[in-house]
């Protein structure tokens, strides 16, 4: 049996922590455990990459952070956000997801206009002032580095955009409700290299305002844009450190094996 004990888990000063998972465990179907006591602190205004082999529990962990696993799994442990354990029954998950937004692997714009994709959630929350909505549309699209490409076609269908543009629209949509944290599950895996590079530039710029946690299979991508990296193996967090340390000087044998096997 492999030693699945963590080899190193980085921690931060309390004031620097935007989100923290404490002993998070996930069971599917009430019995099959796929995540084991994951404890990770995420530093404000940084990008953290979650890496590990297929099936190692990265998405399971990520989806638990904003309660996307509620309907399919039992999630035990604490998720601390603003001194509050948000992994509790009495938490309004819709409010939570406004603060902790998510972008998925496959771009999934609504079959509506570009503008409506961004205003949809705001309108649902009672925002009706057209001027204010227009302002948020522009700001969100600018933040997602899409404004220049779509400013003249805001009322055209979002489905007419390229995959890379759709993914940046999904980021704009997530930003429109002003989250603090953005969860991204392999956001570039469906994109070509040019779109991927644009998306990476976008994420790097967003770091000044947001805290991002991103699953990626692309080691070059993790090393290009993330500040910290957590390595998952068989549902365990094995190592968590600065990206530079993880990639050049891993402490655990499992981490080293994975990094060596995945680069190149
Ligand atoms: N909804 C579900 N119901 C039952 N089992 C699930 C569910 N989602 C994931 N699993 C299982 O949990 C384990 C971890 O899956 P998860 O999707 O978290 O892995 P991952 O690290 O994101 O993998 P990948 O890199 O392939 O996306 C796998 O064994 C998977 O089959
Ligand atoms: Mg996954």
DSSP string, 223-248: HHH-SEEEEEETTEEEEEEEHHHHHH
Distance of CA 76 to the CA centre of its chain: 20
Identify the residue whose C-alpha is closest to ligand 1 atom 4: 28
For residue 14, give the 3-state DSSP assignment.
helix
In the predicted model, residues of the chain with pLDDT beneath 70 are 1, 263-264
**Contact assessment for residue 42 and residue 210, using Cβ atoms and an 8 Å cutoff:** no
**Contact assessment for residue 215 and residue 186, using Cβ atoms and an 8 Å cutoff:** yes
Q: Which atom of ligand 1 is nearest to the CA of 50?
A: 21
Burial 73-92 (b: 16+ CB within 10 A, else e): bebebbbbbeeeebbeeeee
* pLDDT on residue 192: 86
Q: How far apart are CA 160 and CA 239, in angstroms?
A: 42
* pLDDT on residue 109: 96
Q: Which atom of ligand 1 is nearest to the CA of 57?
A: 18
* pLDDT on residue 206: 93
Pocket of ligand 1 (CB under 6 A): 28, 34, 52, 54-60, 72
Least Cα distance to 119 among 161, 175, 182, 199 occurs for 175
Q: How far apart are CA 164 and CA 174, in angstroms?
A: 15
Residues measured by CB to lie within 5 Å of ligand 2, the ion: 59
* pLDDT on residue 82: 97
CA of 264 to the centre of ligand 2 (A): 21
CA of 54 to the centre of ligand 1 (A): 8
Strand runs (DSSP E) across 98-175, as ranges? 100-103
**pTM of the predicted model, to two decimals?**
0.95
Q: How far apart are CA 204 and CA 200, in angstroms?
A: 6
Identify the residue whose C-alpha is closest to ligand 1 atom 7: 28
CA of 58 to the centre of ligand 2 (A): 6
Identify the residue whose C-alpha is closest to ligand 1 atom 19: 55
Q: How far apart are CA 136 and CA 11, in angstroms?
A: 35
* pLDDT on residue 190: 83
Q: How far apart are the first and last CA of the chain?
A: 29
């Amino acid at each position: 049996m492999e030693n699945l004990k963590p080899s190193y888990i980085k921690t931060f000063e309390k004031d620097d922590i935007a989100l923290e998972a404490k002993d998070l465990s996930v069971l599917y179907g009430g019995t099959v455990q796929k995540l084991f006591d994951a404890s990770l602190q995420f530093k404000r205004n940084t990008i953290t990459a979650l890496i590990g082999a297929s099936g190692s529990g990265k998405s399971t962990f990520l989806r638990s952070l904003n309660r996307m696993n509620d309907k399919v799994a039992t999630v035990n442990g604490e998720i601390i956000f603003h001194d509050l354990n948000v992994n509790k029954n009495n938490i309004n998950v819709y409010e939570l997801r406004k603060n902790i937004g998510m972008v998925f692997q496959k771009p999934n714009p609504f079959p509506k206009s570009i503008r409506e994709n961004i205003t949809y959630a705001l309108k649902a929350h009672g925002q009706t002032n057209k001027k204010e909505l227009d302002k948020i549309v522009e700001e969100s699209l600018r933040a997602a580095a899409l404004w220049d490409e779509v400013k003249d076609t805001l009322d055209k269908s979002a489905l007419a955009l390229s995959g890379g543009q759709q993914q940046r629209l999904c980021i704009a949509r997530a930003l429109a409700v002003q989250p603090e944290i953005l969860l991204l599950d392999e956001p570039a895996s469906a994109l070509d290299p040019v779109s991927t590079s644009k998306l990476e530039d976008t994420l790097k710029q967003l770091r000044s305002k947001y805290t991002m946690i991103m699953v990626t299979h692309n080691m070059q991508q993790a090393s290009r844009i993330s500040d910290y990296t957590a390595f998952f193996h068989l549902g365990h967090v094995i190592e968590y450190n600065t990206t530079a340390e993880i990639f050049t000087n891993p402490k655990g044998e499992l981490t080293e094996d994975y990094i060596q096997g995945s680069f190149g």
